[in-house]
């Protein structure tokens, strides 16, 4: 029989554990065994919890066939669901929001395309088709789809490692579409296979650092356009860029360019500041870029500044996206390169889009199915890759504007898309005289928002390890390159996971005087140890990754304690109580480690006692006959009961 002794009327006495009578005979509760479950049931449940944690099939239960089909279609195309409740007042909100983000995205798109080393029209293309596809399939109401700075930079860097964007222009564009295609395939596959949780392997801290570093890198790159430098480094690290900038300080800078750039940058930053101070004026920073473009283009056109060294866009294709189906490499080494690049860019794009979606869904309190979002984003990029678009995703800044401008549904993306269509068809030729310095100013003022120094400061305050991860990614991007920064971010995240699974925490517990409560003696200095008994809590499931460590760490606690007791000539330890409450699971390696622990303890004449093993653990311990090995009466419901039973014995021995 397992002896489990509920503490009867002890909490209101001054409790000296060692003097307590063993309350044998008062047992009310035993450590419970869960009902034996069928293997396949168990397996199914675990699989469901892993892959279908959000229970997406719930609405389909008890439905007829045709209803299931409708629900299925609605699942794939949420527009069928929310479209039925759509009305004029929503449309009004969506039109205003859509036009606002369009005015923001058009100048940004042209600039971001340059980050990806592509012609300006490709940025606009990517703001036309992908938002339409997303509007049909996506379930976020607030996200604004299109090219974004970080992904454009990353894609541009990865592509340039393979091909030269100037001399091998045709192949470069083809590889970009190939990468976009595979980015979409990767995203959709992750969602479809319900492996979306994999994107959570980038820790928040690493993302903050990476984004901040990328923003600085992008801003530095803009110095080329901003200062009018013609001969600029191809490296993106701060040292190369600074050398380029200083090296051309006396002959390469163009004062007209700097003048235009600075004036409009000041204007943009002022607009940003106004929008921040007064939330009602959110539209000021939203339309400021377009106004800058219009004004500066007009200015250049009438002053012929392009003849005084002010660089302009020069050429931008008119008309909408052409088909690029034939340009995608599907075989050979180019396809492999495209796949590798697409995988990386797609994952980063996904991380950003899902983070945005979740943020706004939480703010407006609606549910967002991450896996479904991935399928939508993936499909959007696959279709994009066939219509001359490069990787699109959700933009932080534009989504915020979208939300503030009162968007109601994904229709705002459609409105934006229509505005981009009109731009492409009608006014792109006018962008010919747009000075590059303006685009640089727009990008600089946009990416400044990505430097989340408040988050970095909070990370510094709360968790110093996270801060190391954050800074690692940041410095990696700024001082080496965007890929290295990403690699550092991923490595640190993985290292943190490894640390978590190999080195679980353990704690010594003590009794809070006048209670039956046992707590970590580091946290509660008033907690007192019980003579002759060592109480250790293991704070993790015991698996193959940590079983040896757990065993050896417990033995080390014992060894340290025994040394101290010996030095003080106090009675030795007779019982080692392992508080198992946090040990939610154990595998065969873990059980093996417990057996070895038991053997080692027996050789030292210390009795192993377990407190509160959970349902899974007690079940497995019983099946492995470990309960028989240490004796059923060595397993208690609480530490308090274990101490009550052990303490008198420990005293006798002393």
Q: Smallest distance, Å, CB 371 to a copy of itself? A: 12
Q: Which of residues 329-388 bind a copy of itself (CB under 8 A)?
A: 358, 362, 365, 370
562 binds a copy of itself (CB under 8 A): no
Q: Smallest distance, Å, CB 227 to a copy of itself? A: 37
The interface region with a copy of itself, picked from 115-123, 163-171, 391-399, 544-552 by CB under 8 A, is: 544-552
Q: Residue 165: which H helix or E strand, with range?
A: none
Q: Give me Rg for the CA atoms of the chain.
A: 32
- Beta carbon nearer to a copy of itself, 256 or 584: 584
Q: Smallest distance, Å, CB 587 to a copy of itself? A: 5
614 binds a copy of itself (CB under 8 A): yes
Distances (CA, A) of 469 to 203, 345, 414: 9, 21, 39
256 binds a copy of itself (CB under 8 A): no
Which residue(s) pair with 509 in the sheet? 520
Find out whether 254 and 239 touch, Cβ atoms under 8 Å.
Answer: no
User: Site for a copy of itself (CB under 8 A): which residue of 67, 276, 315, 556?
Assistant: 556
* Closest-CA residue to 516 (of 651, 636, 618, 652): 636
User: Site for a copy of itself (CB under 8 A): which residue of 39, 62, 323, 568?
Assistant: 39
Q: Which of residues 173-202 bind a copy of itself (CB under 8 A)?
A: 197, 200-202
Phi, psi dihedral angles at 401 (to 5 degrees)? -65, -45
540 binds a copy of itself (CB under 8 A): yes
The interface region with a copy of itself, picked from 156-164, 331-339, 380-388, 548-556 by CB under 8 A, is: 548-556
Q: Smallest distance, Å, CB 498 to a copy of itself? A: 8
Residue with tokens 């303890």: 601
User: Site for a copy of itself (CB under 8 A): which residue of 16, 81, 317, 596?
Assistant: 596
* CA–CA gap between residue 134 and residue 137 (Å, rounded): 5
584 binds a copy of itself (CB under 8 A): yes
The interface region with a copy of itself, picked from 94-102, 277-285, 416-424, 607-615 by CB under 8 A, is: 607-615
Q: Which of residues 500-539 bind a copy of itself (CB under 8 A)?
A: 500-505, 507, 512, 514-517, 519-520, 522-526, 539
Q: Can you tell me whether residue 520 is helix, strand or coil?
A: strand
497 binds a copy of itself (CB under 8 A): yes
Alpha helices, DSSP H, located in 222-282: 223-227, 238-247, 255-277
User: What residues have CB less than 8 Å from 231, skipping those under 6 apart?
Assistant: 244, 248, 252
- Beta carbon nearer to a copy of itself, 69 or 193: 193
User: Site for a copy of itself (CB under 8 A): which residue of 149, 541, 577, 646?
Assistant: 541
* CA–CA gap between residue 343 and residue 72 (Å, rounded): 28
53 binds a copy of itself (CB under 8 A): yes
Count of Cβ atoms closer than 10 Å to residue 51 Cβ:
15
User: Site for a copy of itself (CB under 8 A): which residue of 160, 432, 553, 649?
Assistant: 553
* Closest-CA residue to 314 (of 435, 425, 228, 420): 435
End-to-end CA distance of the chain: 27
User: What residues have CB less than 8 Å from 524, skipping those under 6 apart?
Assistant: 510, 512
Q: Which of residues 438-467 bind a copy of itself (CB under 8 A)?
A: 455, 458-459, 461-466
């Amino acid at each position: 029989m397992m002896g489990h002794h509920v503490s009867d009327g002890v909490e209101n006495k001054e409790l000296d554990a060692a003097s307590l009578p063993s309350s044998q005979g008062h047992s009310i509760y035993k450590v419970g065994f869960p009902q034996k479950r069928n293997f396949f049931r168990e397996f199914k449940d675990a699989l469901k919890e892993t892959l279908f944690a959000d229970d997406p099939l719930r609405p389909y239960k008890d439905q007829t066939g045709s209803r299931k089909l409708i629900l299925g279609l609605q699942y794939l195309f949420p527009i069928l669901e929310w479209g039925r409740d759509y009305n004029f007042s929503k449309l009004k909100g969506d039109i205003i929001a859509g036009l606002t983000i369009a005015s923001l995205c058009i100048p940004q798109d042209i600039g971001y395309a340059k980050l990806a080393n592509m012609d300006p029209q490709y940025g606009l293309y990517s703001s036309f088709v992908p938002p339409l596809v997303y509007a049909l399939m996506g379930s976020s109401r607030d996200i604004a789809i299109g090219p974004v700075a970080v992904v454009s930079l990353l894609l541009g860097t990865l592509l340039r490692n393979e091909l030269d964007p100037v001399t091998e222009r045709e192949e470069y564009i083809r590889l970009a579409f190939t990468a976009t295609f595979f980015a979409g395939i990767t995203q959709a596959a992750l969602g479809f296979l319900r492996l979306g949780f994999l994107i959570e392997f980038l820790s928040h801290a690493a993302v903050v650092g990476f984004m901040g570093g990328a923003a600085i890198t992008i801003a530095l790159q803009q110095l080329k356009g901003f200062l009018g430098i013609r001969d600029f480094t191809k490296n993106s690290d701060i040292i190369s860029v600074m050398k380029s900038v200083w090296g051309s300080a006396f002959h390469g800078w163009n004062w007209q360019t700097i003048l235009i750039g600075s004036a409009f940058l000041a204007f943009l930053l002022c607009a940003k500041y106004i929008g921040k101070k007064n939330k009602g004026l959110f539209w000021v920073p939203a339309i400021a870029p377009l106004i800058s473009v219009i004004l500066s283009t007009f200015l250049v056109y009438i002053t012929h500044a392009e003849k005084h060294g002010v660089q302009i866009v020069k050429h931008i294709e008119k008309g909408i996206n052409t088909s690029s189906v034939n340009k995608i490499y599907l075989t050979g080494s180019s396809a492999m390169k495209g796949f590798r690049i697409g995988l990386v860019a797609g994952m980063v794009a996904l991380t950003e889009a899902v983070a945005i979606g979740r943020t706004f869904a939480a703010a407006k309190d609606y549910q967002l199915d991450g896996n479904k979002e991935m399928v939508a984003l993936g499909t959007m990029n696959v279709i994009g890759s066939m219509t001359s678009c490069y990787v699109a995703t959700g933009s932080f800044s534009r989504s915020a504007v979208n939300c503030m401008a009162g968007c109601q549904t994904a229709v705002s993306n459609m409105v934006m898309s229509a505005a981009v269509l009109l731009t492409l068809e009608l006014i792109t030729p006018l962008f010919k005289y747009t000075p590059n310095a303006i685009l640089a100013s727009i990008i600089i003022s946009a990416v400044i928002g990505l430097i989340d120094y408040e988050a970095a400061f909070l990370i510094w305050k709360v968790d110093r390890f996270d801060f190391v991860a954050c800074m690692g990614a940041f410095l990696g991007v700024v001082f080496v390159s965007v890929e290295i920064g990403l690699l550092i971010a991923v490595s640190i995240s993985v290292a943190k996971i490894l640390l978590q699974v190999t080195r679980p925490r353990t704690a010594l517990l003590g009794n809070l005087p006048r209670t039956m409560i046992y707590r970590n003696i580091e946290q509660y200095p008033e907690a007192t140890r019980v003579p002759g008994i060592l109480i250790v809590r293991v704070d993790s499931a015991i698996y193959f990754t940590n079983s040896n460590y757990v065993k050896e760490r417990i033995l080390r606690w014992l060894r340290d304690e025994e040394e101290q007791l010996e030095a003080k000539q106090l009675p030795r330890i007779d019982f080692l109580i392992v508080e198992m409450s946090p040990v939610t699971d154990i595998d065969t390696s873990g059980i093996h480690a417990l057996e070895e622990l038991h053997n080692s303890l027996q050789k030292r004449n210390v009795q192993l006692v377990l407190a509160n093993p959970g349902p899974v653990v007690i079940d497995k311990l019983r099946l492995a006959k470990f309960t028989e090995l240490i004796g059923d009466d060595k397993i208690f419901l609480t530490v308090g009961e274990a101490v009550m039973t052990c303490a008198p014995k420990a005293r006798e021995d002393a």
